[in-house]
A and B are shown apart, each in its own frame.
Chain A
């Protein structure tokens, strides 16, 4: 059996009296897209932040590439990247300058060539000299995604990566992610509120509610276990019936 690239055991996060993540365990296999879904406040983003070492867990263990995250954070993050709709880049820099900064942070070799290539892939070539402050929210999201590929990551954490993209670019982004995943055996942990997207993208999903895993497996298995029509139906059952 191929060892997982990410292994999470008993992950718990308390914010004062609120338990945001409650004894969560899962793994991410090489070349797999794992979807984290659940309503607002389910703990998806907190889990991603803990996996990036941005938030310290209250309990539990995170192992990435067979290394303990707490003790090998910098080494691990060299081969990991992330993108979120909720983060941005320095306003006064241009698209290309921003990418140069991150290329240096990740110690990327052949920086200019790499950046030029990514700008083409993400259709950002025409705005490469535009300042970040003048980008639309869709362009910003694409810039973040471009940044996420700057170091040829082995693992990508994507927090609602297509949230502010128009349907055309969102579709292209999904196709691109699937293609890159296939070509490079990249592992992706993915959160989204778009249930159709989750069904389309994920090899496996984890359904979270109030910090706990309430279901996991292949999307069709989860749909079946809830006796639902699709993931959206599962989502509505969880949020409206509040049984879980």
Chain B
């Protein structure tokens, strides 16, 4: 599976980036801002997903999960604590990346403005939703699903239109992209950079979808948690 997964995603991503560059070869507006800004924002989404699923895996590897769930801790409290830890990690990672972009490329992400903050929050929530769903799959399927913690976010990268507009995608992928909150965030970022306008429509779409996805993620986690307790898998995870 891995043999096909990464080459397939690389081909999709770089193929669409190439198409975008070819289309705009006579002057891509704000090239550095588009790409570096997109890279920093994508990393925020990736870190927020990892903050949930990899932190959960760390508890599995440390054989700490039973100690936690043998305490009065509720599953929802556990997930919320992972979200908080992930929030701290995101702030640290984003600060480091923004600083490096400023030092090496004189790119100041804060020039885009505070208008970006609601979009960043949406990326974080989408990352959390993916992270909670991944954690549910790891709980249910154990070790064989662990690889998802490292790679699942990238499945959404080509249709999130991180480095190119949604219009570059073929029509069926454009339809899929409409259901991905991150695609509105990156479209919004580009519109903020190029037109300095606040894309309220994109923000509303992104927030609405994220609201639905985070609700689904919590529901799935609870449902899976009940199943793994019934099947006796909670006590065997990581063995």
Contact = CB atoms under 8 A, between A and B. Distances in A.
Interface of A: 13, 15, 20, 45-46, 49, 52-56, 73-75, 77-78, 81-82, 84, 86-91, 102, 105-107, 132, 144, 147
Given A56-B230, A90-B64, A106 B71 contact: yes
B68 interface: yes
A105 B117 CA distance: 33
A74 B74 contact: yes
A89 B65 CA distance: 9
Interface stretch (B108-116, B143-151, B181-189, B231-239): B231-239
B66 A46 contact: no
Contacts of B27: none
B67 A102 contact: yes
Given A13-B232, A90-B58, A90-B62, A52 B70 contact: yes
Given A87-B64, A90-B64, A91-B62, A55 B232 contact: yes
Contact of B234 (A46, A55, A77, A81): A55
20 contacts: A13-B232, A15-B232, A53-B69, A54-B70, A54-B235, A55-B232, A55-B234, A81-B70, A82-B70, A87-B63, A87-B64, A88-B64, A89-B64, A90-B59, A91-B62, A105-B68, A105-B72, A105-B73, A132-B62, A147-B67
Given A102-B67, A105-B73, A54 B229 contact: yes
Given A49-B235, A54-B235, A56-B229, A77 B70 contact: yes
Nearest to A73: B72
B27 to A, nearest CB: 49
A42 to B, nearest CB: 15
Given A84-B66, A90-B58, A90-B59, A55 B235 contact: yes
Nearest to A89: B64
A46 B67 CA distance: 15
B64 A55 contact: no
A78 B72 CA distance: 6
A140 to B, nearest CB: 9
Given A15-B232, A46-B232, A49-B232, 6 more contacts: A86-B66, A87-B63, A87-B64, A91-B61, A105-B73, A106-B71
A46 B74 CA distance: 21
A82 B71 CA distance: 9
A124 B68 CA distance: 21
B140 to A, nearest CB: 15
